[in-house]
Amino acid sequence: MARRPGFRRGKGARRPVRIETSAGGVVFRRSTAGPVFLLIRDPYENWGLPKGHLERGESPEDAALREVAEETGLDHLELRGELGTIDWYFREGADLIHKYCHFFLMETNSKSTRPQLEEGISACIWLPLNDALQTLTYDNARLILKSAGSRVG
């Protein structure tokens, strides 16, 4: 019997892989020493990029701007273009989730951040590109940050 794409075998009934879509940003600001990039520390103590789920009817660009503003407290963000999409799988209980995240390059003049503590964001830090690349926890986020770094001159 052939398996249907998007389904997995397990005890009992087959369960579909749940697809989730989110969007986020690589935020930079210019400093006298060169560009610096913003990282956040998530509830699991990992360093990453601000991102979150799309709301119903929301475009990835709008979701990215909203989520970055919510998670970092930055309110003067300007889109500078699309950086690409990453995807990964994870489990939530018995469900397998395939998550896609669209990333956008964003610029700000603001230094001051305010981590979204109620969502478990415990810190925001500004780092030069090489330091940010070494600090990031996940390889797929590192690829997005490298792409951003090559576009910010």
Average pLDDT over the chain reads: 92
Domain membership of residue 8 (yes or no) is: no
How confident is the model at residue 14, as a pLDDT? 67
Residue 55 carries which DSSP code? P
What is the rounded CA–CA span in Å between residue 131 and residue 64? 23
Domain membership of residue 75 (yes or no) is: yes
How confident is the model at residue 12, as a pLDDT? 53
pLDDT category at 135 given cuts 50, 70, 90 is very high
Domain membership of residue 52 (yes or no) is: yes
For strand 34-41 and strand 51-53, is the pairing parallel, antiparallel, or unpaired? unpaired
Domain membership of residue 2 (yes or no) is: no
How many structural domains is the chain composed of? Answer: 1
CA distances from 53 to 7, 13, 96 (A): 23, 28, 17
Domain membership of residue 1 (yes or no) is: no
Q: Say what the pTM is.
A: 0.87
How confident is the model at residue 4, as a pLDDT? 42
Domain membership of residue 9 (yes or no) is: no
What is the rounded CA–CA span in Å between residue 132 and residue 142? 9
How confident is the model at residue 88, as a pLDDT? 92
Domain membership of residue 25 (yes or no) is: yes
CATH number for position 115:
3.90.79.10
Find the domain containing 76 and state its range. 15-151
Q: What is the 3-state secondary structure (H, E, C) of 67-88?
A: HHHHHHCCCCCEEEEEEEEEEE
Domain membership of residue 131 (yes or no) is: yes
How confident is the model at residue 3, as a pLDDT? 42
